[in-house]
Amino acid sequence: MAHTNTRVAARERRRKRLRKKIRGTAERPRLSVFCSSKHVYAQIINDADGTTLAASSTLVGGVREEGRSLANRDGAAKVGADIAARAGRVGIKAVVFDRNGRLYHGKVKALADAAREGGLLF
């Protein structure tokens, strides 16, 4: 689908280019990051089976704070720490990082750094 917004089209091109190279397996699933204007989401996915092994977002009870916007670096860092904890409970130690076409700075970098501090290897 062709986008008229060049920023959206560029992100879509980067996403497709990255997904050609990145595949999640049972030994090393894919950590996929999605950022909307209001929330940050992260999933650990086994692409071989097509299953989500763990998921977290700023909507999850342990991460969410009432009355505060979490669509920023602080919220992304909380999601990163939470997804690392959930991955540890399922027995996942190493993942492949999928930034979903977004540039590696800001929210995406904060989430990745917090996940690494939480024990995930990538």
pLDDT tens for the 122 residues of the chain, in order: 566 789 889 989 988 988 888 888 889 999 999 999 999 999 999 999 999 999 999 998 878 877 677 889 999 999 999 999 999 999 999 999 999 989 999 999 999 999 999 999 99
pTM (predicted TM-score)? 0.87
CATH says 6-117 is which class? alpha beta
Domain ranges across the chain: 6-117
Q: Which long-range contacts (CB under 8 A, 24 or more apart) does 15-21 make?
A: 15/100, 15/101, 16/101, 18/98, 18/99, 18/100, 18/101, 19/98
**In 3D, which of 81, 101, 98 has the Cα closest to residue 45?**
98
